[in-house]
Amino acid sequence: MADRRGLLIILSSPSGAGKSTLARRLRAWDETIEFSVSATTRKRRAGETDGKDYHFYDEARFRDMVSKGEMLEHAHVFGHFYGSPAAPVKAAIRAGRDVLFDVDWQGEQQIRNSDLGRHALSIFILPPSIPELRRRLIARGQDSGDVILGRMAKSWDEISHWGAYDYVLINDDLDATEERLKTIVSAERLRREQQPGLQGHVRRLHSEFGEMT
Ligand code: ADP
Ligand code: 5GP
């Protein structure tokens, strides 16, 4: 058995608050953190790679996986289906590797209520202000004006779920937020339930204690 269990690190935020940027930085800090590549029925955007950013499935294939219980969680977001395939997550957690999820509040809720929920660590990223959120969506240059308006309209719905998360970070200064995120992950790895080897260690201490007295 690995001497530690992996964490399911869940990052959520309204679109544009900086979740993908922070996810990238966290994985650059520790390359052993796996990214849970979601499946989606939405179209691939320019610059996205199938199998790396998302698994781009048609609706029939997506529904088939859901009906076979092969998704850890799934949701309907912005008119499309999104879901996290369960098998790679289970293998990573058992082997002691952390898995990072970029999912919405529905995904957070379902992961927390799943069999692996006790290993979940959820972090919500808030923007410093709504004008700044809009500025970042525009600056990213990824979406048309209409799509940006749609994302802005949805952002309050996502923000309203902030209270369900273990941690909340206001992403004002990017470097400072990255440091806070790394601090959270470092501390959470030391949670008792993340260290299955502790029982054995304490048993050894106990027998050494007995030998001394
Ligand atoms: P999300 O994944 O939450 O939709 P992104 O990570 O794509 O958001 O960030 C949206 C835009 O805002 C990107 O252009 C990114 O470089 C920028 N950004 C992220 N965090 C900050 C920050 N703290 N300050 C300024 N710009 C930021
Ligand atoms: P986008 O289409 O911009 O990549 O993602 C849109 C939204 O879907 C984001 O809020 C993102 O967090 C969410 N999302 C992406 N993958 C999943 C997933 O597997 N499950 C859930 N519940 N949400 C997801």
Dump pLDDT digits (tens) for 162-174. 999 999 999 999 9
Contact 126, 162 (CB under 8 A): yes
**Which CATH number goes with the domain that contains 138?**
3.40.50.300
Q: Is there an atom of ligand 2 within 6 Å of 140 CB?
A: no
Chain segment 169-203, per-residue pLDDT in tens = 999 999 999 999 999 999 999 999 999 999 999 99
77 CA: nearest ligand 2 atom:
8
Pairing of strands 8-12, 120-126: parallel
In the predicted model, what is the mean pLDDT of residues 26-48? 96
Residue 192 CA to residue 105 CA, distance in Å, equals 26
Question: Closest residue (by CA) to atom 12 of ligand 1?
Answer: 136
| pLDDT value for 143 | 78
Is 80 part of a structural domain of the chain?
no
Chain segment 47-72, per-residue pLDDT in tens = 899 999 999 999 999 999 999 999 99
Q: Phi and psi at residue 85, in whole multiples of 5°?
A: -60, 135
Give the predicted TM-score (pTM) of the model.
0.94
Q: Is there an atom of ligand 2 within 6 Å of 84 CB?
A: yes
Could you tell me the pLDDT band of residue 140, with boundaries at 50, 70 and 90?
Answer: confident
- In three-state form (DSSP H/G/I as H, E/B as E, the rest C), the secondary structure along the chain is CCCCCCCEEEEECCCCCCHHHHHHHHHHHCCCCEECCEEECCCCCCCCCECCCEEECCHHHHHHHHHCCCEEEEEEECCEEEEEEHHHHHHHHHCCCCEEEECCHHHHHHHHCCCCHHHEEEEEEECCCHHHHHHHHHHHCCCCHHHHHHHHHHHHHHHCCHHHCCEEEECCCHHHHHHHHHHHHHHHCCCHHHCCCHHHHHHHHHHHHHHHC
| pLDDT value for 150 | 85
The answer to whether residue 1 scores a pLDDT higher than 60 is no
Q: Is there an atom of ligand 2 within 6 Å of 114 CB?
A: no
| pLDDT value for 26 | 98
Give the distance (Å) from ligand 1 centre to CA of residue 13. 11
The answer to whether residue 41 scores a pLDDT higher than 80 is yes
Is 47 part of a structural domain of the chain?
no
Residue in 21, 38, 180 to alter for ligand 1 test, most ligand atoms within 8 A of Cβ: 21
Is 16 part of a structural domain of the chain?
yes
Chain segment 81-120, per-residue pLDDT in tens = 999 999 999 999 989 999 999 999 999 999 999 999 999 9
Is 2 part of a structural domain of the chain?
no
Structural domain tally of the chain? Answer: 1
Is 108 part of a structural domain of the chain?
yes
Is 30 part of a structural domain of the chain?
yes
Which domain range does residue 196 map to? 8-36+97-212
Could you tell me the pLDDT band of residue 2, with boundaries at 50, 70 and 90?
Answer: low
- Write the CB contacts of 114 (distance below 8 Å, at least 6 apart in sequence): 72, 73
Could you tell me the pLDDT band of residue 208, with boundaries at 50, 70 and 90?
Answer: very high
Give the distance (Å) from ligand 2 centre to CA of residue 77. 7
Give the distance (Å) from ligand 1 centre to CA of residue 132. 10
Is 110 part of a structural domain of the chain?
yes
Residue in 36, 104, 126 to alter for ligand 2 test, most ligand atoms within 8 A of Cβ: 104
Is 88 part of a structural domain of the chain?
no
